[in-house]
Copies of this chain bind each other. A is one copy, B any other.
Amino acid sequence: MDIPSGSPTKKRISESTIHRLSRYFRTLSLLEKENFETVSSKELAKREKLTPAQVRKDLSFFGSFGTRGLGYPVAELKAKVSRILGIDRIWRVALIGVGNIGSAMVSYKEFIKQGFHIVKLFDNDQRKIGSNHKGIIVSDIKNLRTELQDDRIEMVIVAVPATVAQYIVDVVVKAEVKAILNFAPINLKVPPGVHVRNENMAMELEYLSFAMVNHHSPKGIGKA
């Protein structure tokens, strides 16, 4: 009935499962707004273009959240998923490189709703240092290490040119930050225990390009 909380399920959870949990979370938020009390794996699957079995299996890695014959309680499941993802808390995030991408990220209000609080900005451009972006003063990159530590930053977003990204990340690692979202198109080297996710838009365009030249069309589309 209860999951022994002392020894959390030590199965290896796949990257795909985690990504799907993110999607369930988004859909559950929507369902909540639409005043659904419960939702079945079937409905959830339909909205996410998955199979009901996939939904149930994903959730089952973390516990039994549903009621047979009824489905899952929306609000409760949403809370559980947010707990699993670790977004039931506030994360202190710093953004490094207040350029095109960096500015876009700071302006984005959805992150804060999900608990990602960008509380520091860094740049090396004298014209940017000291300026105010959405209420945050841009710090000098020179003080990166000390300020990351003093402000207990837990995650950083790296939006600097590729040429300096590794150098910046080395400092970030020294400041004991363990999570990095990287926009620079390079393979960052970090010690074990430091998590890196890459956001690579060129790669997605290339995927589209591949799909097009292979006209991967699931069923004939071409006109006669």
Contacts and interface: CB of A to CB of B under 8 A. Distances in A.
Interface in A178-224: 178-181, 185, 187, 191-193, 195, 197, 199-219, 221
A65 interface: no
A104 interface: yes
A22 B192 CA distance: 25
Contacts of A63: none
Interface string A63-96: 0000000000000000000001111000101000
Contacts of A93: 205
Interface residues of A, number: 66
Contacts of A174: none
A116 B202 CA distance: 9
A54 to B, nearest CB: 15
Contacts of A210: 18, 21, 84-86
Interface of A: 8, 13, 15, 18-19, 21-23, 25-26, 47-49, 84-87, 91, 93, 100-101, 103-105, 107-108, 110-111, 114-116, 154-155, 178-181, 185, 187, 191-193, 195, 197, 199-219, 221
